[in-house]
Amino acid sequence: MTTGLHPGEAPQDPGPKDDQPLPRQEVGRGSSHDENRTRSSVITARAAASFEPVSRSVATARSFVRDTLQGWGFADIVDDAVVLTSELVTNAVVHAGTSADVLCLRAEDGVRIEVADRYPEREIPLQSSPVNMGSPDREGGRGLQLCAAMAGRWGVEYTPTHKQVWFQLDLPDRPVGTRTAGPSLPADLLPLADGRVRVAVVQIDRAGAINAWNEDAEELFGYAADQVIGKPLTDLAAWPHTPGTSTGVAEALQLSRWEGSYGIRGANGRVTPVYASHLRVRDAAGEPSTVCLLVRDHERAVLQTPNRVPTGDSGGSGEGGQATDPFEVFIGSPAPDDLDGLLQRTVERARDMLDGDSAFLLLATDDETELEVRASTGLPSARQRFARVPVEAGPGRYGSARMPAVHDDLAAVPGAVPLLNGTGMRSVVTVPLKVEGRLTGSLGVAAEAASRYSNEEALRLQFAADRIALAVESARLGELERLRRGSLSFLVEASDLLAGTLDRDQTLALMAQMTIPTLATWCAVYTIADQASDPYLSYVLHEDEDLIDGLKALLSKIPPPEPIPTPGARVWTAPAEAGHRAALHTSMRSLGLGEPATVSSGIGTTLATASAVGGETVVLPLVARNRVIGMLTLGKPTDEHFRQEILELAEDLSRRAALALDNARLYSERVAISQSLQRSLLPPELPDIDGVEVEVIYRAAGEGNEVGGDFYDLFPIRDGAYGFAIGDVCGTGPEAAAVTGLARHALRLLAREGYGGPAVLERLNSAIIDEGARSRFLTLLYGELWPQEDGSAVLKVVCAGHPLPLRLRQDGTVEPAAEPQPLLGVMEDLELYEQTVTLDPGDVLLCVTDGVTERREGTRMLGDDGLTEVLTTCTGLTAGAVAARVMRAVERFASDAPSDDMAILAMRVPGLQRD
């Protein structure tokens, strides 16, 4: 959303231009003379905003118009403007599916609001066509009907790409020089005040920091201006009068207008109760700031807004000139498209109807045993929202839920309405919301004065509640259905993400990231390695990254929650208590009342962490395979609570997350075991052979495999003699790796016992056949190497069914260095022979497995000829360079990943080094 405000600017006429003749429809109650007078009025301020084509934009648009008009001082027409804007923006972003531009224009006699959308496919109506405002039963199209019913003037303007609906709301006429007045009172009934009433004027910038501090503020609180300029007001404020809990003041500073009580910590460390009046304004540059007027709490009459006096024309005139009840206007208007908007409008209308100071609405849970706070006005809603109270029994029972009730003085009946505890409200009237005899909620209006309401007001409120109950229940069921669909979608997506990884750390991160901010404000995951281990704090996440370190430090200092396997969420109070203690100690040290700390993270960080964990914290066990493997901890900021639907969704998520985490643990253990066993099958480091360069490249097929069916080895037999081997077991995986281990260890043992090459392979053949069903065919190239004093090397080679070794001479010729013989593991009586090969200085012997020669790309295969061609280009290269060039050629031959194990053994005789 983008907004702009330019006080005092006279914008261009929003109507069509001379060079752009456009169809225009305009309707109004006033005459043409009135229209001309309105258009010629001086525009003193404008505010504009654009909203994306998503459903939440409707609520944002309502807030934008409400804040703008209240900031301009037009509270009398705010509700009508919000209703009309809501319908027009709904038509744009929901029904037309385009973005919406909202423009508010302030004039001397009223406000003009324009809502434009972009829908190029719309047909432009003929100028002579009658205005069709649609049917009231349709889901969309009711905006024009409301404009006709509520606005003084309105109109519709079309272009090929835009449709703009505008309406004008006139300010009600008031007696000149008077807004409100109180009766004449005897002197002994006037409010008490000190000899001189001091009014502190404090201005707060958009970041919450103080940028103006007058002399009365210095006298009241003991701070000079230069001591507080630039500091956040919340560093001085207490809400209620407790250090470290000033979140309510921070929220109040964001409201367009607010009145209420809190405390200011003075320079002497004491908290002074004050009554405050806040007004949020914008300067000439469009930057928002808040002007705060503060007096001592017992002098609140200086700033407190007088009680509203009902007027006969506040709701407009109906037929016969009869005054219309304000709630009647609301009942006749279309319901908002979301439950929260409907409930909020209901409590605001109820408060105005009974001239109350606050109002609230609670909805019953599915089992009707508890009531949940869903909307309020005039109360600290952020602290009360979604709080629950029992209906029938238990502490804090809501005793007036099922019948209308009037409480003359709550001080005489403490706890009768738990929602109002500590709010200063004295009298209250509550009525039930029922649908077909079933309790669906409760609506209440309260006042700060005692004995404000009688049975007559209760009957009026009950009549209004009966008319709105069905709409509320329908909207609630719709929200519940959307929530259930969203929960299913959330769980499906979560299951897919958790199933997509078997990495433990990534699983922990996914668990936390999926809960923030959908389910909670912060999250911590504790893990338990085994039954004898204590829970360990493994992962911490907060929606504000700046608070993660402080939150992690706080949780590290307190004992972890008890690993109880009982399903469901349970409340954990330790983080909130620890945060409160830390904030209290830090605040006392900052005032010089406590012992100085050697190391301090700063009051700002401590208070922010305390606020982050100050709300409700719940723990859900992570149970997998009948064992608690950890705990999922979810938390809310100060004074916030979890809804039951959110807790149920979190419980479902915890079950899936626990299984995914346990699977990741099991997979990690299996991988560690597998890798350990596979590494045991690989030969140790290759020996250094004087006069011979040796290089080996080994690649096992399959993700996570370090050993497969191919193997190699190079080992000393006796002084001056070395054995080497490269082989390929039929198949891949663990069975092939088992034969690999058998072959490598048997070769070393038999060779060191003095057996020659043929005898070694014949005995290995017998050992493989003795394996029975577990035996595998084996191709093997085995040889013995003797470096010579003249720089050459003598090799005795036996090639049992293996790809023939290739010899590269210095002149670039390539030839096989052995003859093929039968493979191992097939015939019991096997007669093999060895061949002698002499490598001259500069010669290279290349040995590979069939994974190299059988590399395929479609119908093409590298083959022996392709390998020979690659080897001819390696003249003069070292053994390492030869092996690397061959592997690079194999990888480039095909784009797919190799499907077979590959081993390359290159030996080169460099010759004697001469000085």
Mean of pLDDT values over 290-301:
90
Q: Is the pLDDT of residue 135 over 70?
A: no
Q: Is the pLDDT of residue 467 over 50?
A: yes
Enter the tokens of residue 878. 């070292």
- 197 or 404, greater pLDDT: 197
Please report, as a single letter, which amino acid is at residue 598. T
Phi, psi (5° rounding) for residue 153? Answer: -145, 150
Closest to 85 in 3D by CA, of 115, 60, 56, 107: 115
3-state secondary structure of 789: coil
What whole-number distance in Å separates Cα of residue 140 and Cα of residue 88?
9
Q: Is the pLDDT of residue 792 over 80?
A: yes
What whole-number distance in Å separates Cα of residue 607 and Cα of residue 600?
12
3-state secondary structure of 775: coil
Mean of pLDDT values over 24-50:
58
Closest to 85 in 3D by CA, of 65, 106, 70, 109: 65
Who's near 141: CB < 8 A, 6+ residues apart?
Answer: 91, 95, 133, 134, 135
Q: How far is CA 138 from CA 116, 397, 701, 823, in A?
A: 21, 42, 64, 84
pTM recorded for the entire structure: 0.44
Torsion of CA 61, 62, 64, 67, to 10 degrees: 180
| Contact yes or no for 805/845 (Cβ under 8 A) | yes
What whole-number distance in Å separates Cα of residue 579 and Cα of residue 585?
10
Give 734-743 pLDDT, tens digit per residue: 677 777 778 8
Supply the pLDDT for residue 742.
82
Give 486-518 pLDDT, tens digit per residue: 777 777 777 777 777 788 888 888 888 888 888
What whole-number distance in Å separates Cα of residue 586 and Cα of residue 227?
19
3-state secondary structure of 571: strand
Closest to 907 in 3D by CA, of 818, 847, 817: 847
Mean of pLDDT values over 674-694:
78
Supply the pLDDT for residue 292.
93
Q: What percent of the chain has pLDDT over 70?
A: 79
Supply the pLDDT for residue 913.
53
Supply the pLDDT for residue 187.
78
